[in-house]
Amino acid sequence: MYVDDLGKIIKMERKAWGMSRRRLGKLTNLEFDEVEEIETGINKNPSFYLMLKICDALQISIFSLLSEEGYKSFILNKLT
């Protein structure tokens, strides 16, 4: 699993919804700073429970997020 890219994928999914970090924080009972730390890679190891909460708020499956991460990582590297 490409843990460094997990935050980028969450950010991409959040932006696809047109959602701010603050809104995602409210939906997941996280502080704005915690969402930012995950998205920027400062927190490279969020708990599975926390990832479930984020996936629920973004209406995506944790299984699809993790299984597609390698593919999305490749695409993100090409775009940046």
Band of residue 4 on the pLDDT scale cut at 50, 70, 90:
low
Q: Is the pLDDT of residue 75 over 80?
A: no
List the domains of the chain with CATH numbers.
3-79 (1.10.260.40)
Predicted pLDDT at 2: 45
Global confidence as pTM: 0.75
User: Of 38, 73, 78, 33, which is closest to residue 58 (Cα–Cα)?
Assistant: 38
Average pLDDT score, the chain: 81
CB 13 within 8 A of CB 60: yes
- Model pLDDT for residues 30-49, shown as the tens digit of each residue: 999 999 999 998 988 888 88
What are the backbone dihedrals phi and psi of residue 29, each rounded to the nearest 5 degrees, phi first? 60, 40
